[in-house]
Structure 1
Amino acid sequence: MHDDVIDIRLLEAFSAVMSAGSITAAARLLGRSQPVVTRQIQDLETDVGYLLFARNGPRIAPTPKGVLFHAEVERLLLGLRHIRARATAIGAGALPVLSLAAISALAAGVVPAALAAMSGDLLPRQVHVQSLSAENVVQSVLAQSADFGLASLPIQHPGLDVQWVCEVPCVACVAADHPLAKKKVIRLKDLGGRRLLTMANPYRLRRRVDEALERAGVRPQEVIETNASLNAVAMARQSLGVAIVEPVLTSHLEMTGIVTRKLDVAIPFLFAAITPAGRELTPTVAALNAALRAAASLMPGARLHDGAAAFAEAAGEAVQVERTA
């Protein structure tokens, strides 16, 4: 990279082209001329030292490096938008903007219930809720582009304060007309020879599911992997298989055409509430923390632990903590 600082207008042009799919459409979005956007993309490529787009006549497509760079640019631009919103709120004497990052299941399940339970005088006029992967939730909180985060374990980073950890047993979701829907408890052995719908990330919940199946001597006939439990539940509704998921969505959202059953073996799903290390909670963030904790405790079998448990679990240690719920 030739300069220490990249012109923000170049990054905006790059983001617009990635979103719109062409320089012409990006120029319309930005209110700039096409030659200006073309030059800005070229200047950005000169700055970073590699091609961001492959050209084929009038058509362009992001290069592999361009795709990776886009993820970084989007995080930066989102942070800048939050700064602008916070500056406006401060100038108007209003409550600060609240920014929350969470994995998709928690963003759709626990977060809405918590926000609805917060007192109106503590809920800012502007609230940003992002649905991200667990890894990106952590990065958003570390960068302080998010005031609060909810991410699945393992989590271990000195730049984070863990407010609390929730442990809840996974459930099985099947279509209402599935043969296993008649059972009150689904045994892991019932999954032998069936198609399993499960998470793709091998370092989080998927690892616990695979270990439980291995201990039970069960081998599914087929597996469909996904990065979001909502996808797994939706596929189960279409009779594509049995979904083993955290009970967040089924506890907080009405699910039609699907039934939820306990498993005969406890497969724990653990997630943590995280904030930037050493940052005192504002009244708004403290109220959000309490509301999220209360919403999480409503899930069947949920147990709340103090924050230290997150680091012990992330290190692979046996977590033995007193129930604090």
Structure 2
Amino acid sequence: MEIKQLEVFLAVMSAGSITAAARLLDRSQSQVTRLIQELEASIGFALFERNGPRITPTSKAVAFHSDAERFLTGIGQLKERAKTILSEEPAPIEIAAIPAFASGFVPLALAEMPDDLLPRNVHLRSVPAEAAVQSVLARTADFCVASLPVEHPGLDVHGLFQSPCVAAVAFDDPLAAKETISMHDLADRGLITMANPFRLRRRVNQALEAADVRPSRIVDTNTALNALQLASTGFAIAIVEPATAYGVRLKNVAIRPLDMDIPFLWGIFSAASKPLSDGALELIQLIIRISAARMPGFVAHDPGHIERVADVTFGGEHAQEQGS
């Protein structure tokens, strides 16, 4: 298995055809085809099903794709690191963050970084919480910002935090005139919420059940930014985490507190025993400070109590406040 074979495979997966991949790589179609065939022979399974000029990735190709992409990303980062060592430049900062932070508070924190601590290269990836943690453990990210639960012995915890979720409604919705939106205001209304049943969605469901509220329909999505965009059209009301609500400003959306505390729990993590650069450490502190300033009801928890914090339910009855 060679790097050039993996590069061609990723190009075909991205472009959707041998012809398009050849143009992308400035290679001939025959070269691309040969390298794909050599890779298939090396790994022992077919990557594409061929039907005349059309190709379709096999299920094995889809499973292989993320690992190949991660490997080549690591190779690229290694080459970049070698250049910084040679030139004695500060090392790049690699950040993996859930979309709530990748689109909001992390960019705001980067904008406030002192020039002498900001390296030439910064890599910010928006990924699900599980992938963010795996990026840190695989050492392809210096640190990650992820929602809870997160439990792994190979992690150092730089902070555990909590802030209540909010409602997002269109400006012309009658509920936008209210200072606080009641859970009962959601009865017989369309509701937009998160799809992952093991994170924020679980707490939203608990709150709806406790309030005995049944929305007329529920639309779920994988990012709060999608939920805000939907809410801005007046299609439905969204319950979203505060990082996106207060970190990304959208037109035609009113953000209002809820009368029930649905906690959004998150933390910042790095690989255990991996020293972080001064730039990465400063960026972590900036993310925390900006979050504390912009998230109403911000609470910092003891980093040593991650299991207890992850068990916080709606209403926050298990919360142990350390500071805000």
- The TM-score by the shorter chain falls in which range? over 0.9
Q: Distance in 2 between matches of 1:93 and 1:26?
A: 36
Match of residue 149, structure 2, among 142, 154, 162:
154
State the 1:324 CA deviation.
3.2
- Structure 1 equivalent of residue 118 of structure 2: 123
- Structure 2 equivalent of residue 304 of structure 1: 300
Say if 1:213 and 1:219, in contact at 8 Å, map to a contact too: yes
- Structure 1 equivalent of residue 198 of structure 2: 203
Pairwise CA RMSD = 1.6
Indicate yes or no: 2:68 matched with 1:73: yes
**After the TM superposition, which residues 233-272 of structure 1 pair with which residues of structure 2 at under 5 Å, given as runs?**
233-272=228-267
Q: Distance in 1 between matches of 2:246 and 2:139?
A: 30
Match of residue 34, structure 1, among 11, 29, 33:
29
TM-score normalised according to structure 2 size: 0.94
Indicate yes or no: 2:101 matched with 1:106: yes
Letter in 1 for 2:53: P
Match of residue 182, structure 1, among 164, 177, 182:
177
Say if 1:309 and 1:319, in contact at 8 Å, map to a contact too: no
Say if 1:153 and 1:272, in contact at 8 Å, map to a contact too: yes
- Structure 2 equivalent of residue 50 of structure 1: 45
Structure 1 residues 69, 308: CA separation in 2 closer, same or farther (over 3 Å shift)? same
Q: Distance in 1 between matches of 2:174 and 2:110?
A: 38
Say if 2:96 and 2:127, in contact at 8 Å, map to a contact too: yes
Letter in 2 for 1:76: F
- Structure 2 equivalent of residue 3 of structure 1: none
Q: Per the alignment, in what secondary structure is the counterpart of residue 45 of structure 2?
A: coil
State the 1:277 CA deviation.
1.0
Q: Distance in 2 between matches of 1:266 and 1:164?
A: 21
TM-score normalised according to structure 1 size: 0.94
Q: Per the alignment, in what secondary structure is the counterpart of residue 155 of structure 1?
A: coil
Letter in 2 for 1:321: Q
Q: Per the alignment, in what secondary structure is the counterpart of residue 186 of structure 1?
A: coil
Q: Residues 43-75 of structure 1: CA distance to partner in whole angstroms, max 9, x if unpaired? A: 222233322212110111112222222122222
Say if 2:312 and 2:319, in contact at 8 Å, map to a contact too: no
Say if 1:107 and 1:130, in contact at 8 Å, map to a contact too: yes
Say if 1:100 and 1:149, in contact at 8 Å, map to a contact too: yes
Letter in 2 for 1:61: T
Letter in 1 for 2:306: A
Q: Distance in 2 between matches of 1:34 and 1:251?
A: 49
Q: Per the alignment, in what secondary structure is the counterpart of residue 254 of structure 1?
A: coil
State the 1:293 CA deviation.
1.0
Say if 1:101 and 1:132, in contact at 8 Å, map to a contact too: yes
Match of residue 278, structure 2, among 272, 279, 283:
283
Q: Distance in 2 between matches of 1:15 and 1:261?
A: 44
- Structure 1 equivalent of residue 128 of structure 2: 133
Q: Residues 220-255 of structure 1: CA distance to partner in whole angstroms, max 9, x if unpaired? A: 110111000000000000111000001112322322
Q: Distance in 2 between matches of 1:275 and 1:316?
A: 23
Say if 2:263 and 2:312, in contact at 8 Å, map to a contact too: no
Q: Per the alignment, in what secondary structure is the counterpart of residue 121 of structure 1?
A: helix
Say if 1:306 and 1:324, in contact at 8 Å, map to a contact too: no
| Greater CA drift, 272-281 or 196-205 | 272-281
- Structure 1 equivalent of residue 320 of structure 2: 321
Say if 1:174 and 1:242, in contact at 8 Å, map to a contact too: yes
- Structure 1 equivalent of residue 57 of structure 2: 62
Q: Distance in 2 between matches of 1:253 and 1:147?
A: 24
Q: Distance in 2 between matches of 1:40 and 1:320?
A: 56
Q: Distance in 2 between matches of 1:207 and 1:319?
A: 16
Say if 1:309 and 1:321, in contact at 8 Å, map to a contact too: no
**After the TM superposition, which residues 88-103 of structure 1 pair with which residues of structure 2 at under 5 Å, given as runs?**
88-103=83-98
Letter in 2 for 1:27: A
Match of residue 217, structure 2, among 213, 222, 227:
222
Structure 1, unmatched stretches of 5+, are 1-5
